[in-house]
A and B are shown apart, each in its own frame.
Chain A
């Protein structure tokens, strides 16, 4: 291999990559697996089929998917505005997008809870106008997750949109396509792979989020408890094996979902000749 490869540095870089993966990712994750092996198969099943745990899985994945979907839609529009139109204050706006990256998520959770609770600024409005309560409901979780995951989508799609060859749009127009047709047939298909990546990142971030959610979720059993909260609860009760069992299950489900999204992305790329 090292003889036939033109690029130098294959061995040291691979060694470094493996070392890094081992220390930071694989060893901690395998510890998780081994720890959960302390439980017998029956005990494991009884932990994860516990009604409250199953409900938390449903809450976590449904809210994460919903948040990733909404973040994708909003994120697409934001990326579009940032790339396509010049406007005053654009740089400031651009910097604001990244804020959720830097903010401690607990701070975000507390602020969101404060304004979305029934007597908060936005909460009162929503309750009065639509009879809608956001905070302490699954909807509140979605709001927090959108806040957290939005920059992941925007920052993934933005560079691709920037690189997008806009003469393709002009070519489509010159062939008689309406603006709608240009958008649907030319722009969207070219941004789909990046959008799927953005969606996957937003989803992954949402599934793992803890800090911001617990403040706005209300954490009602069976209604608005998320999986990370279940894990923390187990840990606080010194049920380490039970906590790892839930964590492992969550890891496997997340991995499978991300795998599906990646395969979907591969398929889209192949179909559009980008591979």
Chain B
């Protein structure tokens, strides 16, 4: 189901959580709402679900205006950040809940419910836990049960609020991959909220970056990474070195090709370094760290303490034969100006 949001605004007291949000999500996409905490992303998700009412604006699902409709009639599946599993019910009863509360004429027979619930539990690979209670499960298992429960009612939109936020790193990695595959399999329009840019880039086919209640940019992950629309997006997505004319003097910036008078954002992997024997080389290698396949090099401007970073593959760094304290010359491959 496609989603269309027009002119959505929401205030909590005097705090403006969302400001004139316009967003269109085509059917079948897996979209990430990405932003720092307090940017309004969860509020937006809750407005789409009908758990929150916008002060202004409309929510259209499949072209139908659903702004005034109660959450129970919207046909959405919502997965909560802390799972919100029913503590007093077994895993099986949790998943079956959505089917059992249907009005009698729509409700499937008990036999069908049993079959369907087991099928869903198999989909999330947890059928063997069907008679446990939520308190007896690990975080990752609860998350998958919450997802199975939401899928039981065959929602036309799946909304996930920080789905991996409360999990530890390795479980999170597995579940990301798993969510992507699941989306591929079911092809239900899905939106998930996250503050983790890596997660958004890895899982989503489309990323919407929010900040202070506004949409800063939307597009495919590579679009957003390669062509950030503004300084906020550039700093928020991935690592960036910021060179401002106020902080660094123009003459120094000009020596490695940065235009004077403008703020430049340079990704660490867009900085090339070379050992230099010149006394007035542009920078000094202060330190370096091993990040797996990459080496992060900590540099300071020659004669000051302005710190910035370059990244390069392991092999490349070895070939340069650099040591702490060496003077280096810089070359910028690519920069964004704002």
**CB pair A175 B149 closer than 8 Å:** yes
B97 within 8 A of A: yes
Partner of A170, one of B51, B73, B133: B51
**CB pair A174 B71 closer than 8 Å:** yes
Q: How far is the CB of B242 from chain A (nearest CB, A)?
A: 39
What 1/0 mask marks residues of chain A from 158 to 179 whose CB sits below 8 Å from any chain B CB? 0000000101101111111110
A104 within 8 A of B: no
Q: How far is the CB of A166 from chain B (nearest CB, A)?
A: 9
**CB pair B101 A170 closer than 8 Å:** no
Residue in A167, A171, A178, A271 whose Cβ sees the most chain B Cβ within 10 Å: A171
The CA-CA distance from A178 to B85 in the complex, in Å, is 17
Partner of A273, one of B84, B90, B97: B90
- Chain B residues with CB under 8 A of A31: none
- Chain B residues with CB under 8 A of A173: 51, 70-72
B77 within 8 A of A: yes
The CA-CA distance from A168 to B80 in the complex, in Å, is 9
**CB pair B72 A272 closer than 8 Å:** no
- Chain A residues with CB under 8 A of B78: 170-171, 174
Partner of B84, one of A167, A190, A271, A274: A167
**SS of A interface (majority):** helix
Q: How far is the CB of A25 from chain B (nearest CB, A)?
A: 34
A186 within 8 A of B: yes
Q: How far is the CB of B309 from chain A (nearest CB, A)?
A: 40
Contact-size category for B: 20 to 34
Chain A, residue nearest B76 (CB): A174
A185 within 8 A of B: yes
**CB pair B87 A272 closer than 8 Å:** yes
**CB pair A168 B87 closer than 8 Å:** yes
- Chain A residues with CB under 8 A of B89: 272-273
- Chain B residues with CB under 8 A of A46: none
Chain B, residue nearest A170 (CB): B51
**CB pair B80 A175 closer than 8 Å:** no
**CB pair B101 A174 closer than 8 Å:** no
A189 within 8 A of B: yes
What 1/0 mask marks residues of chain A from 237 to 275 whose CB sits below 8 Å from any chain B CB? 000000000000000000000000000000000011110
Residue in B82, B98, B102, B136 whose Cβ sees the most chain A Cβ within 10 Å: B98
Q: How far is the CB of B91 from chain A (nearest CB, A)?
A: 10
Task: Return the 7 tightest CB-CB contacts between A and B, nearest first.
Answer: A273-B133, A272-B88, A175-B98, A167-B84, A171-B84, A174-B78, A177-B101
Further 12 A-B residue pairs, CB within 8 A, beyond A271-B88, A272-B89: A165-B84, A165-B87, A167-B80, A167-B84, A175-B149, A175-B150, A175-B152, A177-B97, A185-B97, A190-B88, A273-B133, A273-B136
Name A's B-contacting residues (CB within 8 A). Answer: 165, 167-168, 170-178, 181, 185-186, 189-190, 271-274
